[in-house]
């Protein structure tokens, strides 16, 4: 069973696993037979969208996703299927779409989600990647005996998550002395109400480390909204011809009192606050040796600092925190590199401050 799941927005108090056993309660079903099957679906989705307060953009995105899902059934899913729609108001109000077909299934679930990949048959090739990008959550299951299942969710803007706290970030990176290419890399992307941070250290240093890290970055660029466990699994597959990387991924949420961290190998992560907490990393190397891993949530109070850095920086700064912390993130990251950076390795630090 090939499974892919992508949840872009954190829903408070709902475990991730809840979406893997969807109940059929409250769904309205629509048969998919031909190109006209889309019209009743679009009308009903529009009605449901109004009920939960989707705005114009959200309704437009849902419409495109629906069209792509139905067109996928017609072109690649054997031409027949079923679509289901319902709304759920129990948490953040949301419109849920399920589509099933009885075609051949999907051989490579990651590949069909790559932008520019075409499943052939004259499609524009942007179908499923577009659904993945436009919806707040997207899941697909390809069954071993044929057929595919898709689930996509559009959430109304969660006004109740309005926030009074602000995250700031600063990054500082330098390659090993005498080396031109940096084997470290970082990713920092601010979403609506959350931020995705990744720190990557290619094994060793120099051009090959640089190559592995850049390949990881180009995939994170495309798939940063996936849940972190799936993202690291994807990177592991994409990097199998490289020397591999270690990686730490951090997600922060403006309105929530925690951050989520997922890490493999030698990346140092810590929250410096009333109490210091170090992040747990799993053993392994992305690209060559990876066991099952889990994201972990860590409480984070306002005014705390979070820092991720590569092993090119000595961890001893933590005991001498007030020599480098002057209430300014930029000077903090620069001073850490200058005072605690090792000359014989690439060194990178990303620090965040929740004010």
- In this complex, which beta carbon is closest to Mn ion, that of residue 80 or of residue 342? 342
* Ranges within 198-217 binding Mn ion (CB under 5 A): 201
Shortest CB 263 distance to Mn ion, Å: 14
Stretch that binds Mn ion, among 28-36, 153-161, 190-198, 339-347 (CB under 5 A): 339-347
- In this complex, which beta carbon is closest to Mn ion, that of residue 65 or of residue 267? 267
- In this complex, which beta carbon is closest to Mn ion, that of residue 228 or of residue 345? 345
Other Cβ atoms closer than 10 A to 67:
16
Residues in contact with Mn ion, counted by CB under 5 A, come to a total of 5
Q: Which of 223, 222, 216 is nearest to 265 (CA)?
A: 216
* Ranges within 221-240 binding Mn ion (CB under 5 A): none
- Taking CB under 5 A as the criterion, the residue among 345, 352, 353, 354 binding Mn ion is 345
- In this complex, which beta carbon is closest to Mn ion, that of residue 68 or of residue 345? 345
- In this complex, which beta carbon is closest to Mn ion, that of residue 71 or of residue 314? 314
Cα–Cα distances in Å, from 151 out to 82, 83, 135, 139, 141?
12, 10, 10, 5, 9
Residue 81's SS3 state is: strand
Shortest CB 246 distance to Mn ion, Å: 8
Residue 319's SS3 state is: helix
Q: What is the dihedral of CA 151, 51, 8, 16, to 10 degrees?
A: -60
Shortest CB 312 distance to Mn ion, Å: 5
Stretch that binds Mn ion, among 68-76, 133-141, 318-326, 345-353 (CB under 5 A): 345-353
- The contacts found for 276-285 with CB under 8 angstroms, 24 or more apart, are 276/318, 279/248, 279/308, 281/246, 281/248, 285/203, 285/244, 285/245, 285/246
* Ranges within 258-317 binding Mn ion (CB under 5 A): 310-312
Task: Return d(Cα 210, Cα 245) in angstroms, integer.
Answer: 10
Other Cβ atoms closer than 10 A to 47:
11
Residue 72 exposure: Cα atoms within 13 Å on the Cβ side: 31
Shortest CB 113 distance to Mn ion, Å: 30
Confirm or reject binding of residue 179 to Mn ion (CB under 5 A).
no
- In this complex, which beta carbon is closest to Mn ion, that of residue 77 or of residue 185? 185
x-marked contacts with Mn ion along 54-93 as a string, rule CB under 5 A: ----------------------------------------
Shortest CB 175 distance to Mn ion, Å: 11
Shortest CB 266 distance to Mn ion, Å: 7
Decide if 247 contacts 216 (C-beta within 8 A). Answer: yes
- In this complex, which beta carbon is closest to Mn ion, that of residue 75 or of residue 243? 243
Task: Return d(Cα 156, Cα 11) in angstroms, integer.
Answer: 12
- In this complex, which beta carbon is closest to Mn ion, that of residue 37 or of residue 310? 310
Task: Return d(Cα 131, Cα 153) in angstroms, integer.
Answer: 10
Task: Return d(Cα 240, Cα 102) in angstroms, integer.
Answer: 33
Question: Interface with Mn ion by CB under 5 A: which residues?
Answer: 201, 310-312, 345
């Amino acid at each position: 069973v090939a499974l892919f799941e992508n949840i872009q927005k954190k829903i408070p108090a709902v475990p991730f696993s809840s979406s893997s056993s969807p109940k059929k309660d409250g769904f309205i079903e629509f048969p998919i037979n031909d190109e006209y099957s889309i019209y009743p679906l679009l009308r009903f989705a529009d009605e449901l969208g109004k009920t939960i307060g989707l705005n114009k953009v959200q309704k437009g995105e849902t419409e495109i996703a629906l069209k792509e899902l139905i067109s996928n059934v017609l072109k690649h899913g054997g031409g027949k299927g079923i679509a289901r729609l319902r709304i759920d108001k129990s948490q953040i109000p949301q419109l849920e779409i399920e589509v099933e077909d009885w075609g051949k299934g999907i051989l490579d679930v990651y590949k069909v989600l790559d932008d520019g990949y075409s499943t052939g048959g004259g499609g524009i090739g942007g179908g499923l990647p577009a659904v993945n990008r436009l919806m707040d959550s997207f899941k697909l299951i390809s069954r071993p005996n044929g057929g595919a299942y898709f689930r996509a969710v559009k959430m109304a803007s969660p006004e109740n998550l309005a926030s009074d706290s602000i995250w700031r970030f600063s990054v500082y990176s330098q390659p090993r002395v005498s080396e031109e290419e940096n084997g470290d890399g970082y990713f920092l992307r601010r979403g609506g109400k959350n931020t995705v941070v990744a720190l990557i250290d290619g094994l060793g240093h120099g051009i090959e480390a640089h190559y592995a890290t850049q390949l990881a970055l180009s995939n994170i660029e495309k798939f940063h909204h996936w849940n972190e466990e799936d993202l690291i699994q994807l990177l592991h597959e994409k990097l199998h011809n490289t020397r591999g990387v270690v990686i730490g991924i951090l997600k922060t949420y403006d309105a929530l009192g925690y951050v989520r961290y997922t890490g493999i190998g030698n990346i140092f992560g810590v929250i410096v606050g009333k109490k210091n907490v170090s992040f747990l990393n799993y053993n392994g190397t992305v690209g060559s040796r990876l066991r099952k891993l889990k994201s972990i949530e860590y409480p984070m109070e306002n005014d705390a600092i979070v820092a991720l850095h590569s092993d090119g920086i000595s961890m001893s700064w933590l005991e001498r925190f007030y020599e480098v912390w002057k209430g300014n993130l930029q000077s903090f990251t620069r001073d850490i590199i200058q005072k605690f950076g090792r000359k014989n390795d690439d060194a990178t630090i990303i620090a965040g401050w929740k004010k």
